[in-house]
Amino acid sequence: MSIAVAAESASGQKIAAEPPSRKRRSTSGKAAVTGWAMLAPAGILMLVFLIVPIILTLSLAFTDARLISPTPAKFIGLNNFTRLFGSNVFWHSLQNTIVFALVIVPVQSACALGLAVLVNAKVRGTNFFRTVYFLPVVTSMVVVSMLWLFMYQQDGLINALLAKIGIAGPDWLGDPNTALFAIILMSAWQAMGFHMVIWLSGLQTISADLYEAASLDGANGWQQFAHVTWPGLKQTRTFILITITIAAFSLFTQINVMTQGGPLDSTSTLVFLAVRTGFQQQQTGYASAMSLVFFVLVLAVSLVQRYLTRDKDLQR
């Protein structure tokens, strides 16, 4: 509360220093004081813990800052980036991150839409199914990773089940060829229910009359989906693609719990690498350069989103 009071007096002085508007709009001047005061707690916190770190990401990337260091950080130009772009682990991590996103975005969003369509009906038991599909979403990723770590073992649950039908399963997480795929599968399993709910809320916005009209016109199930459902989900679609993509770029927990980036860097990701560099090796400057690359990726995705949304507005 003391922060709020301090901010109130500070902004109060600011308002008082504007003589022209003060006399005529004394009520709105008072509103401004209260307004800034109510904004201040969140504003100060966001400034310190969001805006400043964003600026730091942009600036520390060009320094040799270390997490714990007696000497202040020095400006070293593009050195971090030359070092980064010359690093094999970085390119592997970038590639893994992009592969993860490219695979999981279509797979997870399509499967989640399938789930949503499956449970978007007034049938007995639908609510039960929805609840079950949603359970992994409320389970923490650490728990999910730990559980699947067990299931994916060479002698774990999945291979035991595969053995029942005569398939000798691989060492899922121990083989560079299957490790990333195994993590993709698990991640899709965990988050699918989340996007199912978002697709469902999109499906609800499509009027039942449209389906009725389509079926009177003799449209079959697939035609109804293609000409009524799909166009009606345009906005939901953009949102889902963006959220899955950004979440995919942020991949960390699964990697840290399950593989530590291995085997042979086959599951290392940008965030995992940045944490290893900036936290374990304490090279904040170098890690900030990685964060900046990550930031540029996210920004690019958001620009694509903006482009897609604008496209939609034009059509309306």
> H helices of the chain, where?
2-16, 19-24, 26-46, 52-60, 79-85, 88-118, 126-138, 141-151, 157-164, 179-204, 208-216, 221-224, 230-232, 234-249, 253-258, 270-275, 284-315
Q: Is residue 98 part of the contact set for other proteins (CB under 8 A)?
A: no
Closest CA to 149 of 267, 239, 229, 11: 267
Of 75-83, 84-92, 172-180, 292-300, the segment contacting other proteins by CB under 8 A is 292-300
Site for other proteins in 194-223 (CB under 8 A): 194, 197-198, 200-204, 206, 208, 211, 215, 219-221
Q: Is residue 5 part of the contact set for other proteins (CB under 8 A)?
A: no
Which of 95, 224, 232, 262 is in the footprint of other proteins by CB under 8 A?
A: 224
Q: Is residue 87 part of the contact set for other proteins (CB under 8 A)?
A: no
Q: Is residue 110 part of the contact set for other proteins (CB under 8 A)?
A: no
Closest separation in Å from C-beta 63 to other proteins: 10
Residue 98 to residues 195, 206, 227, 247, 248: CA-CA distances in angstroms? 20, 33, 32, 12, 8
Closest separation in Å from C-beta 175 to other proteins: 19
Angle at 300 between CA 116 and CA 183, to 5 degrees: 50
Dmax (CA) for the chain in angstroms is 86
Judged by CB under 8 A, the number of residues near other proteins is 119
Note whether 287 and 87 are within 8 A (CB): no
Q: Is residue 95 part of the contact set for other proteins (CB under 8 A)?
A: no
Which of 12, 39, 79, 89 is in the footprint of other proteins by CB under 8 A?
A: 39
Q: Is residue 109 part of the contact set for other proteins (CB under 8 A)?
A: no
Which of 20, 24, 42, 166 is in the footprint of other proteins by CB under 8 A?
A: 42
- Per-residue contact flags (x/-) with other proteins for residues 135 to 164, judged by CB under 8 A: xxxxxxxxx--xxx-xx---xxx--xx-xx
Collapse the DSSP code of 81 into the 3-class scheme (helix H, G, I; strand E, B; otherwise coil) and give the result: helix
